[in-house]
Structure 1
């Protein structure tokens, strides 16, 4: 049968109270068996000796001193042994423990209050002295063992904490190296190639006379320059590993949605119907969803037209991006196919849902539903 659950501080207090009561009872029984209650002074001495055991945790040495008279006046030794154990668990002075053990053995051997004729200590007292030293050694050794166990447990906890900290530092070091390597790759490879795209687009913008080609070159150059700015900021963030937290590029809002649709490089129409401001996480989710949908339409449905709708109805914001079937051949472009997965995870974190799939006219539709608490 399992013990009922009790709060740890309360349970600890109950255990201490039961231990104290048990030790005081043991001391009183020992004195009773040894005849310590035969006289009023003896009874008073037993009461004091047993009562001071309640203070053994706070003042172990004074408690031991107060229990010595009971050993000297009778054969009741339980209180003194308990006090000596408490002292041994709390002090690191071995000479002090040796002195206390010697005092206990001397009082145990001393024939008081009945005086002895002749020598105070004789050869016949040696066995009593040895027995008294043996009795004193038991609680001293046991108390030192308990103290060593506590020290070992504390040392193990410290070693565990240090080892966990070292593992954390090692992981941070590996992460810093990986981030530095990624920053170098982004700076040396990606930024270089995007720079070439921006330069070639700028040259095409100046040299061509075709209005459509000039507009396309202008869009490519503008997007390339914006991508370069974001790449430079990302490189600085990656290189700042181990330092204070660095803010990423200012997060987009719905105020930038019109600029995103206008500069997406394809024919797109935006229709926004919202009631009031939306929380920043919701705005970012809508922006990134529209951005990913327009990118997919540009890559996989060239020549199509896209319609973007953002509507707020009954506490839910629905964002729908629908593109028609492509009218030109699709160019093979690299893709990790992680865009929709990331959008779906972002929607789930906000308590919403993301659905996507082909339409009946061979187009594609992406729909995002996000709950919005009433303001």
Structure 2
């Protein structure tokens, strides 16, 4: 049962009790004055949540002149749950006790002479019970709020601890990438530059320059990735600069492959879609260099009424394949990119011994 439902049920019970007690009192006394005071008291009960002190005051005449005390007790409970001033609550307590005792001055004077102590205990407890109950429930609600705040603080602290652990792991990964990968790629770039200077063969010179340029581009991208890993969890986590389709021609020209581009992508593609297309073609060209040396590559970009399709097809290799390490993480990453955009990635061998990679994205994936 929710807190709101419990509060609603409690209000309904209190109102019914006040109505029953007031109706019985008015019927027993058969007085229009008592009925009027009872109606005023009931109005006070109905508006007690908005004006608790006012509603408490308007219920006191019904206690003094007709003895209907339930309405006063209900409004006093509301006052105790709303205000924290013990001076105010003590005043309300004394006024309520006096109002409850007043009708007995004329009705039972013998009672005051013989059972005064019992009467004082009865009146004070009758007036004090709703105050104590109201303060207890108010303290309970405040405690629940504090416990919820503590829970949220602990959850926030747990997230901060997890972020700190991740930041430590990313920094370690960034150091390893910088120390190992950059060292090896730098050696490749230096040796390619030395080969370019030492050779007189134009073809070898061009190939060495292409290897050197690819190594430099790899080092530049590696630097951005290391910066990203080190800055993860801070505002400086943007992957900049991000490739777009305007860089596609340069990617193909620097691929050292016999590659040609057929068709053009729409100009209104969103940045995530452009990155997905660029990375797909980049990974496909990398796989051709690794697994199909000397193969020709055709990159075809088409669209129909529902989909945008990027197809990268290579012929069978014409040179021996070098044994290079591969864990297929690149294709897995491309499949995840496609899935995030609502598309699919297809790969498979061709009848002529070649290989084809096809990315299909729905037209709703771009602007």
* TM-score band, normalised by shorter chain: 0.7 to 0.9
Is 221-230 or 48-57 further displaced after alignment?
Answer: 48-57
3-state secondary structure, aligned to 1:175: helix
Shift of 1:131: 1.7
- Inter-CA distance 142–121: structure 2 relative to 1 (3 Å threshold): same
- Inter-CA distance 159–41: structure 2 relative to 1 (3 Å threshold): same
- Inter-CA distance 44–170: structure 2 relative to 1 (3 Å threshold): same
Alignment RMSD (CA, Å): 3.1
Structure 1 residues 155-194: aligned runs within 5 Å: 155-194=146-185
Q: Is the 8 A contact 2:192 2:211 kept in 1?
A: yes
- Candidates 30, 35, 41, aligned match of 1:43: 35
- Inter-CA distance 277–79: structure 2 relative to 1 (3 Å threshold): closer
Which residue of structure 2 aligns with residue 102 of structure 1? 94
Work out the number of aligned pairs and report it.
364
- Candidates 107, 115, 128, aligned match of 1:137: 128
Which residue of structure 1 aligns with residue 65 of structure 2? 73
- Candidates 307, 312, 334, aligned match of 1:343: 334
Instruction: Write the deviation string for residues 7-60 of structure 1: whole angstroms up to 9, x where unpaired.
Output: x99x9998799568535523522533652xx33433332222222222322332
Shift of 1:221: 0.5
Which residue of structure 1 aligns with residue 253 of structure 2? 262
Q: Is the 8 A contact 1:266 1:304 kept in 2?
A: yes
Shift of 1:360: 1.2
Q: Is the 8 A contact 2:14 2:74 kept in 1?
A: no
Tell me, in whole angstroms, the C-alpha distance in 2 between the residues paired with 1:278 and 1:66.
70
Tell me, in whole angstroms, the C-alpha distance in 2 between the residues paired with 1:275 and 1:67.
76
Instruction: Write the deviation string for residues 205-246 of structure 1: whole angstroms up to 9, x where unpaired.
Output: 111222222122111110111111112222222222343143
- Does residue 293 of structure 2 align to residue 299 of structure 1? no
Structure 1 residues 322-341: aligned runs within 5 Å: 322-341=313-332
Tell me, in whole angstroms, the C-alpha distance in 2 between the residues paired with 1:304 and 1:125.
111
Q: Is the 8 A contact 2:26 2:34 kept in 1?
A: no
- Candidates 219, 225, 232, aligned match of 2:210: 219
Q: Is the 8 A contact 2:316 2:353 kept in 1?
A: yes
Which residue of structure 2 aligns with residue 29 of structure 1? 23
Shift of 1:295: 0.7
Shift of 1:292: 1.0
- Candidates 84, 88, 92, aligned match of 2:80: 88
Tell me, in whole angstroms, the C-alpha distance in 1 between the residues paired with 2:90 and 2:277.
78
- Inter-CA distance 278–94: structure 2 relative to 1 (3 Å threshold): closer
Q: Is the 8 A contact 2:349 2:356 kept in 1?
A: yes
Instruction: Write the deviation string for residues 179-211 of structure 1: whole angstroms up to 9, x where unpaired.
Output: 222222222222222212111111111112222
Is 221-230 or 141-150 further displaced after alignment?
Answer: 141-150
TM-score norm. by structure 1 comes to: 0.85
3-state secondary structure, aligned to 2:106: coil
- Does residue 53 of structure 2 align to residue 61 of structure 1? yes
Instruction: Write the deviation string for residues 138-189 of structure 1: whole angstroms up to 9, x where unpaired.
Output: 3223222211221121111111111111112112211221222222222222
Shift of 1:277: 4.9
Tell me, in whole angstroms, the C-alpha distance in 1 between the residues paired with 2:74 and 2:9.
17
TM-score norm. by structure 2 comes to: 0.87
Gapped regions of structure 1 (runs ≥ 5): 1-7
Q: Is the 8 A contact 1:312 1:318 kept in 2?
A: yes
Q: Is the 8 A contact 2:60 2:96 kept in 1?
A: yes
